[in-house]
Amino acid sequence: MHDDANQIAAGSAKSLRLFVYNGGFLTQKRVRRILELSGYSIQLGQPKDGDLVGVWGKSPTSGRGEKVAQKADALIVRAEDAFLRSVLPGRTGSAPIGLHLDHSGVHFDSSQPSDLETILATDPLDDQAILNRARGAMAQLQELHLSKYCAFDPNTLAPTPGYVLVIDQTRGDASVKYSGANSNTFLEMLYYAQEENPNQRVIIKTHPETEMGLREGYFDESHCNDRVSLFSDPISPWVLLEGATAVYVVSSQLGFEAIQMGHRPRVFGQPFYAGWGLTEDEFPITRRQRKLTRVQLFAASMILYPKWYDPHRDRLCSLEDAILALAAETRAWREDQKGYVASGMRLWKRKPLQAFYGKQRKLRFEDDPQRAEAIAREDHRSQLVWAGKAHGHEGPHLNIEDGFLRSKGLGAQLIPPLSLVADDLGIYYNPQSPSRLETMIKHRKNLRPDQVLRIETLIRNLCAAKLSKYNLAGSPLPILPDGHRILVPGQVEDDASIKTGCGDICTNLGLLKSARAANPEAVILYKPHPDVEAGLRVGAITETDALAYADQVLAQADPIALLDHVQEVWTLTSLLGFEALLRGCAVTCLGSPFYAGWGLTSDKAPRPERRDQNVSINSLAYACLIDYPRYHDPVTNTPCSAEVILDRLRNDDIPKPGPGNRMLSKLQGLFASYAHLWR
């Protein structure tokens, strides 16, 4: 690597001037920003001593910069998309999540070593921390079905397993030309795929840009016969590779992904991943003599080589953060492609719902169940129904509710949510029927090491920042009585979780009586629900009645702060029980909330038969905080990860309610009996 690159890697305070002659460097904001964060100052004009010239790979426009660099005796920085790029191809205008900035060459040009090849050839690649990160990221990409482009449905089925996979590419692509290949190379590859596998089907996979009509490929129907067929459906490469018995490539990135899946691809070009003992090379590169493991290849190519960008925090980031950002965007794209008809959504909820679910196709709102189903059927949409308003919606639909890390302020105060859940089976708070959350909890019983690290970090940061569902500012805690303290959180008594998840004991007063009867010597602290305290919902009990069973009533207190000072929580179905589990408190449930029945709580209600496994708190939290909700970044107005929302709440980096919102919230308190109009 050149000294200039080392200067940047070391974090030089002074940006290096990078002269460019391709308009894309100026018009593509994301590319320009990654370069700026990487230590380059983009310039126009003629370079002088110490300046650099930036070109895009080996594109048709790169010759301009190469001529200027040669004349000025300036070093060249070649930019290229990283191997994990975007949901849609760049030709659609999608911005990249990462770049390769190479001072030696470009990874797909085998005529000379690139920075990537130098890393692969000379770096020890023996740092166990980096290799473990690589293992985790490899597993994550496969589980999330992420690739360079992600615009496919991961549920699309591959052909019946047992086929030989031949990978097509876009005609004239630089990665083909500079890999020493041409159209004859593709014909030769197809010939050998048939010759070496005489009794097997051969599937030719077309390139995503060919599928979209953006660029021509090397194969078409004229190359098919009784054994050879084209497969052009958008599909997860991980699904496609899983069913293959052999993989044939020229220089496609799918060869790199095939290696990650355990294949040993037959390679007819000279891509970056060839020559390291992991491929069968038709045209070996003699200078590549080192033998690497697939984890080492991945670590160099995906962790050490690229510059990854965090679009939410506007900074360079790790591969892991880039995966989270792309995964959130990809999930929203895949789930929302058809668009939705939304029912049971109050007027004030509609704008935030559009932000969550209406980016691909704007939501259509229709409350009448029959009309909503008809619109969905005619317009090929799915249905969203607010879970508490689902009565009468008999057809397939998604039940919508707030997530467990919701906002800074109450929904009853018209504060828009930062997270929502969409459940195709039921809804998390109703134990009377299955929910998608239950299946996710079971699925996460055994977490990978990288998943354990992620959820433990998330839990630790949530607890340290004292974050909860609503994150309300509470009054300072009074002096609490000494003894074994039990926190009893009040709830909204007509809440759906109580109606569906409680038996005979279903009121705040009944909960207090039960807690006292079972713990006559304990210090019982009663915390009324914020909505009830605000006069917006049902469930108030007089202080006199409460103090008949509680030692102290903590009005307006911060319940999360209380968790640091209690040993137990007794609850009906309150989310505070889940938040207590995250903080190591013992929890007793008189109802059947989503977190009960998994071996983590003392359950006074019957355990739902479906919850037939004991799981760890990490497994429960992973399903509840990562898998189940979708998060929306209010700053960038884009889908994001739980970690981004944690940062937004921790740093108070969220939009504040406007005067209209505050005025309407105050009016609600005056007209609480009409709450059905805005809830």
| pLDDT at residue 275 is higher than 50 | yes
| pLDDT at residue 46 is higher than 50 | yes
Domain identity same for 225 and 98: no
pLDDT score at 182: 96
pLDDT score at 663: 52
| Residue 110 near residue 178 (C-beta atoms within 8 A) | yes
Average pLDDT over residues 440-468: 97
For 560-603, the pLDDT digits (tens) are 999 999 999 999 999 999 999 999 999 999 999 999 999 999 99
- Whether residue 221 lies inside any domain: the answer is yes
pLDDT score at 13: 55
Name residue 365's beta-bridge partners.
342
Could you say which DSSP state residue 149 is in? B
For 366-391, the pLDDT digits (tens) are 999 999 999 999 999 999 999 999 98
Domain identity same for 50 and 167: no
Rounded to whole angstroms, the Cα distance separating 187 from 223 reads: 9
| pLDDT at residue 6 is higher than 50 | no
Domain identity same for 54 and 199: no
- Whether residue 145 lies inside any domain: the answer is yes
For 333-365, the pLDDT digits (tens) are 999 999 999 999 999 999 999 999 999 999 999
- Whether residue 352 lies inside any domain: the answer is no
pTM, to two decimals: 0.93
Average pLDDT over residues 543-557: 93
Domain identity same for 540 and 603: yes
Average pLDDT over residues 86-90: 92
Lowest mean pLDDT among 40-49, 149-158, 538-547: 538-547
Domain identity same for 580 and 515: yes
Domain identity same for 553 and 485: yes
pLDDT score at 474: 78
| Residue 206 near residue 186 (C-beta atoms within 8 A) | no
pLDDT score at 423: 98
Domain identity same for 101 and 188: no
Domain identity same for 34 and 147: no
For 388-445, the pLDDT digits (tens) are 999 899 899 999 999 999 998 877 678 899 999 999 999 999 999 999 999 999 999 9
- Whether residue 496 lies inside any domain: the answer is yes
The set of residues, in sequence order, having a beta carbon less than 8 Å from that of 470 and lying 6+ positions away, is 406, 407, 408, 409, 410, 530
| Mean pLDDT over the full length of the chain | 93
Q: Place 656 in a pLDDT band, splitting at 50, 70 and 90.
A: confident
Domain identity same for 23 and 152: no
| pLDDT at residue 515 is higher than 70 | yes
More confident residue, 431 or 476: 431
Rounded to whole angstroms, the Cα distance separating 10 from 122 reads: 19
- Whether residue 331 lies inside any domain: the answer is no
SS3 552: strand
The set of residues, in sequence order, having a beta carbon less than 8 Å from that of 408 and lying 6+ positions away, is 415, 470, 471, 472, 649, 652, 654
Structural domains of the chain, count: 3
SS3 19: strand
Segments forming the whole domain that contains residue 239: 140-305
For 276-333, the pLDDT digits (tens) are 999 999 999 999 999 999 999 999 999 999 999 999 999 999 999 999 999 999 999 9
Domain identity same for 252 and 295: yes
Lowest mean pLDDT among 99-113, 148-162, 655-669: 655-669
- Among 604, 600, 605, 602, which Cα is nearest to 584's? 600
Q: Is the dihedral of CA 487, 493, 495, 497 positive or negative?
A: positive
pLDDT score at 10: 40
CATH number at residue 42: 3.40.50
- Whether residue 225 lies inside any domain: the answer is yes
SS3 159: coil
7: amino acid identity, one letter? Q
Average pLDDT over residues 182-205: 97
Q: Place 535 in a pLDDT band, splitting at 50, 70 and 90.
A: confident
Domain identity same for 618 and 492: yes
- Whether residue 365 lies inside any domain: the answer is no
Lowest mean pLDDT among 101-115, 409-423, 438-452, 491-505: 409-423
